[in-house]
Amino acid sequence: MRILLVYPEFPDTFWSFKHALKFVRKKAGAPPLGLLTVAAMLPSEWEKRLVDLNVSSLTQADLAWADYVFVSAMIVQRDSARALIARCKEAGVKVVAGGPLFTMEHERFTDVDHFVLNEAELTLPPFLADLANGCAQHTYTTTEFPDIQQTPAPLWQLANLKHYDTVSIQFSRGCPFSCDFCNVTALLGHRPRLKTAAQIIAELDSLYALGWRKSIFFVDDNFIGNKKQIKSEVLPALIEWRKDKLGMPFSTEVSINLADDTELLRLMAQAGFDTVFVGIETPNEDSLVECSKTQNKGRDLVESVKRLQRAGLQVQGGFIVGFDNDTPSIFQQQIDFIQKSGIVTAMVGLLQAPPGTRLYERLKREGRLVNEMSGDNVDGSTNIIPKMGLEPLREGYRKILDQIYAPQFYYERVLTFLREYQPPQIRFHLEPQYILALGRSIYQLGIRGVERVHYWRLFFWTLFRRPRLFPLAITLAIMGFHFRQVTVLHIV
Ligand code: B12
């Protein structure tokens, strides 16, 4: 059997990092972990190829080669997925679809031959068994959550890693919290399910053996969902593993209560984590109560962020406007918070209600659902009718983005962050691309860019005051360029 695994294209969005990746001549952020994991679950004697449309194109010869095309996607890849499925139909190749887009809205893809939904650990084996017996069904689904200690290591060797800037790996699925707008618990459950430390070390070893030295993104919904296990098993194993390794800084997603645990913070920095994404959402306490974000309530959020930065973690933050409790003052409050906290990568979005969430059910009852979700939460669109009215909300939202990504504000924030930041000790692996990227940044941002004054100020400040942070400062300058392109041009 010949299986062609195809990953649809991401549009040019906040998280695509397209404009930043050009500086390091990379084509995409990370290879598609879902598809590579599914590939590892297929019989080993089957032939498999990966075409990630973000790094290469799909040829007629690819389609002619394949017995089945396996496609995975998120909502944001909807259009590209649709076009891909139409092409497969035209070429007469059968399509098997899975992953979050199809799990949420499979009934809208009438041309797909087989849906293998939810987590493939449970739904793929019955599909494969039926296929072998010539009686494959149209849809496979489950309400159970599998034990991921049985999940095989992804087949990274199918991906051409030279096109990517990061590799994703996964240690756990699920999150213990209950934020009402988040569909992670609907998709993956409340109880964090963990791999073993041995599994994750084997995955890292295989990436290291493939020559990977750049960053690793632990795509866990909340890496500290089970603190006990993380502290006693996983981090000690990662610390040991890192001892004789070069490069490979880690990043992940965590809840803000990490700031309350100094031992956990110390272990994370020692293990080589240098960046965490945290759902901050809002400085408005009433809105935190409204969405049941208990872990963020009743604390000095700026101080919590600074504690993470001082411990060696760059904090990237998710922010939301449009809660029922938000008043017109929320826009300035968010700007002030973001500037003060030194959260350079601030993903600000309008409140949206993904199907399957408590928020969705409430707004449905209240008759406040409209449109479909675009899947891009930084494009200024929403599927809800906000209490403050859509126009004032969008206007305020526009104001936030215009301000926080304007060069003056952005670079000021970078400096606020760098003043606070104490980086972890990771042995730096110098890639020739980094030197070329520095040259490109000097030309694009320091000579041609509207930000040139701010760029040079950051350049020399870092070089003289915090030379160890110089590569990070240039990376942030490049990311700022990307954020400006997507936030200025693409808000709908
Ligand atoms: C990593 C990640 C990203 C990375 C993607 C990097 C990459 N190229 O892979 C980045 C940072 C770019 C990203 C961005 C965004 N993401 Co994201 N992301 C994730 C995250 C945390 C992990 C995904 C992952 O790799 N999981 C590990 C693999 C093993 O799981 P998996 O892909 O689901 O695959 C399993 C099954 O789904 C199934 N499967 C998957 N594909 C296929 C295919 C076939 C044929 C079969 C049979 C089975 C199958 O089998 C696998 C094993 O069980 C998920 C949350 C989550 N835990 O899934 C959100 C998630 C996928 N993201 C989501 C969203 C909304 C976004 C953003 C809009 C912003 C945001 N709110 O975070 C942006 C949009 C992207 C853009 N460019 O604008 C949503 C998607 C909702 C949806 N229904 O589409 C999720 C589910 C989070 C959420 N709260 O809802 N994201």
Tell me if 451 sits within 8 A of 483, measured CB to CB: no
What tens digit of pLDDT does each residue of 161-180 get?
999 999 999 999 999 999 99
Q: What is the pLDDT of residue 398?
A: 94
Long-range contacts for 127-133 (Cβ within 8 Å, ≥24 apart)? 127/96, 128/42, 128/43
Does residue 132 register a pLDDT over 70? yes
Task: State if residue 282 touches ligand 1 by the CB under 6 angstroms criterion.
Answer: no
Q: Which residues pair with 386 in a beta bridge?
A: none
Query: How many whole angstroms from 252 Cα to the centroid of ligand 1?
Result: 14
C-alpha 100 to ligand 1 mean position (Å): 6
Nearest CA to ligand 1 atom 34: 34
- Residue 174 Cβ < 6 Å to ligand 1: no
Q: How far, in Å, are 72, 110, 216, 224 from residue 173 at the CA level?
A: 18, 30, 17, 11
- Looking only at the bridges linking them, the beta strands covering 94-98 and 114-116 are parallel
Q: How far is the CA of 219 from the centre of ligand 1 (A)?
A: 9
**DSSP code of residue 151:** P
Length of the chain measured in residues: 492
Q: What is the pLDDT of residues 139-158, one digit of tens each?
A: 999 999 999 999 999 999 99
Ligand 1 site, residue 35, Cβ cutoff 6 A: yes
Residues sharing a CB contact under 8 Å with residue 233, sequence separation 6 or more, in sequence order: 196, 197
For ligand 1, atom 51: residue with the closest CA: 34
Cα separation, 305 vs 341, whole angstroms: 6
Q: What is the spatial distance between Cα 83 and Cα 111, in angstroms, rounded to a whole number? A: 11
CB distance 69 to ligand 1 below 6 Å: no
5 lines ligand 1 (CB under 6 A): no
Q: Is the dihedral of CA 29, 34, 35, 40 positive or negative?
A: positive
Q: How far is CA 298 from CA 295, 316, 319, in A?
A: 8, 21, 17
Going by alpha carbons, the residue nearest to atom 50 of ligand 1 is 120
- Beta carbon of 116 within 6 Å of any ligand 1 atom: yes
Residue 198 near residue 236 (C-beta atoms within 8 A): no
Q: Which of 7, 12, 15, 35 to mutate to test the pocket of ligand 1 (most atoms within 8 A of CB)?
A: 15
**Residue 15 banded pLDDT, cuts 50, 70, 90:** confident
User: Would the pLDDT of 489 be above 60?
Assistant: no
Q: Which ligand 1 atom lies nearest to the CA of residue 54?
A: 8
* Ligand 1 lined by 74 (C-beta under 6 Å): yes
How far is ligand 1, taken at its centre, from the CA of residue 33, in Å? 9
The alpha carbon dihedral of 261, 267, 268, 269 has a sign of: positive
Query: Which residue has its alpha carbon closest to ligand 1 atom 2?
Result: 219
Mean per-residue pLDDT of the chain: 95
- Pocket of ligand 1 contains residue 446 by CB under 6 Å: no
Share of the chain above pLDDT 90, in %: 90
Residue 170, ligand 1, Cβ within 6 A: yes
Instruction: Tell me how crowded residue 63 is: count the other CB atoms within 10 A of its CB.
Output: 18
- Please give the backbone phi and psi of residue 45, each rounded to the nearest 5 degrees, phi first: -80, -10
Q: Is the pLDDT of residue 88 over 90?
A: yes
pLDDT at 488: 66
For the CA of 11, the nearest atom of ligand 1: 77
pLDDT above 80 (res 430): no
DSSP letter at 309?
H
DSSP 229-275: HIIIIIHHHHHHHHTT--S--EEEEE-GGGGG-HHHHHHHHHHTEEE
Among 55, 71, 74, which is best to mutate for testing ligand 1, by the most ligand atoms less than 8 A from CB? 74
**30-77 pLDDT tens trace:** 999 999 999 999 999 999 999 999 999 999 999 999 999 999 999 999
Say yes or no: CB of residue 334 within 6 Å of ligand 1.
no
Question: Residues 461-483: pLDDT tens digits?
Answer: 999 999 999 999 999 999 999 99
Per-residue pLDDT tens over the stretch 333-364:
999 999 999 999 999 999 999 988 999 999 99
Q: Write down the residue that tokens 């449109």 correspond to.
A: 371
What is the band of 432 on the pLDDT scale with cuts at 50, 70, 90?
confident
Q: Is the CB of 381 under 6 A from ligand 1?
A: no
Instruction: Report how far ligand 1's centroid is from the alpha carbon of 426 (Å).
Output: 28
Question: pLDDT tens, 362-418?
Answer: 999 999 999 788 878 788 899 999 999 999 999 999 999 999 999 999 999 999 999
Q: Is 72 in the pocket of ligand 1 (CB under 6 A)?
A: yes
pTM (2 d.p.) = 0.96
pLDDT in tens, 92-107: 999 999 999 999 999 9
**SS3 category, 337:** helix
What pLDDT band is residue 429 in, cutting at 50, 70 and 90?
Answer: confident
**Closest residue to atom 29 of ligand 1, CA basis:** 34
Which residue owns the Cα nearest ligand 1 atom 62? 74
Q: d(Cα 395, Cα 402) in Å, to the nearest integer?
A: 10
User: What token pair was written down for 148?
Assistant: 């991921």
Classify residue 8 by its DSSP letter. P
Q: Are 298 and 364 within 8 A, CB to CB?
A: no
Residues 260-309 have pLDDT tens digits of 999 999 999 999 999 999 999 999 999 999 999 999 999 999 999 999 99
Q: What pLDDT score does 288 carry?
A: 97
Our answer on whether the CB atom of 128 is closer than 6 Å to any ligand 1 atom is no
| pLDDT for residue 139 | 98
Which distant-in-sequence residues (6+ apart) come within 8 Å of 148 by Cβ?
121, 170, 172, 173, 193, 194, 195
- State the pLDDT at residue 378: 84
Give residue-wise pLDDT tens across range 229-272.
999 999 999 999 999 999 999 999 999 999 999 999 999 999 99
